[in-house]
Amino acid sequence: MDWLSDLLLTLPGWTVLTLVFLVPALEAAAFPGVLMPGQSTMLIGGALAHLGRAPLASVLTAAVLGALVGPSIGYLIGRRWGHRMTARLPHRLVRPTDVERTLALVRKLSGPALVAARFVALLRTLVPALSGVAGVPYRRFLLWNAVGGVIWAVCSTLAGFQLGGSWQHLRSGVTAAGWLALGALVLLLAAGYTVHRVRLRRARPS
């Protein structure tokens, strides 16, 4: 993140706002997953607002818009082309049954998964597209995308604003939040898979 902070510190305020919108949007719109420093950009944007380089309200607005627009694009890409891409995955590496199980879990846990995945870099790029592939209703996706996007963008930006120019604290905060969110998402997926297996067993004729 040092290179990113050094870059943003040299840019004018309007360019900082553009990147705070653009980087998280591109991160969440990518399929099957291109890692970009979306959360780091928001944190640094908040820190620059603390330093007077850009208005905090403008940084928050740019961050929220980027967090909302990007996943919607990722969802539409997954809905339109996702099935073709998953069908071309090497079967020796990813079995079709595993893909179907993953998509079933995304359908079942679409809301909590969208919120928790915001705080884990790789999942931010995968879950919106997988929601499109899985056929999650767009209205439900929009609702949970808005909930997760606003929470993520506001918390990340305000964390950067609160910590100011302390980049070391910013880095440790991102790492801790990511691991906590990943742990919560793993527990949710495990619980969903367990409930699914129990229902299948009960539905089988004795």
pLDDT (tens digit per residue) in 126-171: 888 888 888 888 988 999 999 989 999 999 899 888 877 565 555 5
Distance CA 43, CA 49 (A): 10
The answer on pLDDT for 190 being more than 80 is no
Cα 116 to Cα 1, 4, 121, 123, 163: the distances in Å are: 22, 25, 11, 9, 23
Cα 93 to Cα 57, 90, 97, 98, 189: the distances in Å are: 46, 5, 12, 10, 21
Average pLDDT of the chain, as a whole number: 76
CB-CB neighbours of 121 under 10 Å: 19
pTM over 0.95: no
The answer on pLDDT for 69 being more than 90 is yes
Per domain, the residue ranges of the chain are 2-203
